[in-house]
Amino acid sequence: MSERDLRPMIAAGIAGILGTIATLSYYGYLHIAKPDDALLLAEYTMLKTIPGEDYKASLKPAEQMAQCMDGIVVLFDLKQKGLTGVLVDDKKRAVRCEFSAP
């Protein structure tokens, strides 16, 4: 049995893996999470509504859009595409929602 030099095959395999990782990262399919990714995006305040009293809010909409998914409020950032998050209170508990058909 003849012996083969495995070094070129190992080098080609490693180069293939590194090339795949570089390509996926370049096209945005690979994201390495950083601690900054979990930081507070925006702060929210609940305006209490009292029947018969007016409340004031800005006419300009927020840069996030909310949607009810599996009973939890999920926010989608309209300014930074692909940025999503779960709405939580000050104790990091997810804000629940209920879908009601019109």
How many H-runs (helices) and E-runs (strands) does the chain carry?
1, 3
Q: Which domain holds residue 85?
A: 39-102
For the ranges 29-33, 61-65, 78-82, 97-101, the maximum mean pLDDT occurs at: 61-65
Using CB atoms within 10 A of its CB, is residue 85 exposed (0-12), middle (13-18) or buried (19+)? middle
Query: Over the stretch 43-94, which tens digit does the pLDDT of each residue have?
Result: 777 778 888 888 788 888 888 888 998 899 988 888 877 778 888 887 888 8
Tell me: do 92 and 49 sit in the same domain.
yes
User: Are 51 and 87 part of one and the same domain?
Assistant: yes
Q: Please count the structural domains in the chain.
A: 2
Global pTM reads: 0.50
Q: What is the distance between the alpha carbons of residues 5 and 16, in angstroms, rounded to a whole number?
A: 18
64 in helix, strand or coil? Answer: strand
- Do 13 and 47 reside in the same domain of the chain? no
State which H helix or E strand residue 9 sits in. helix 7-26
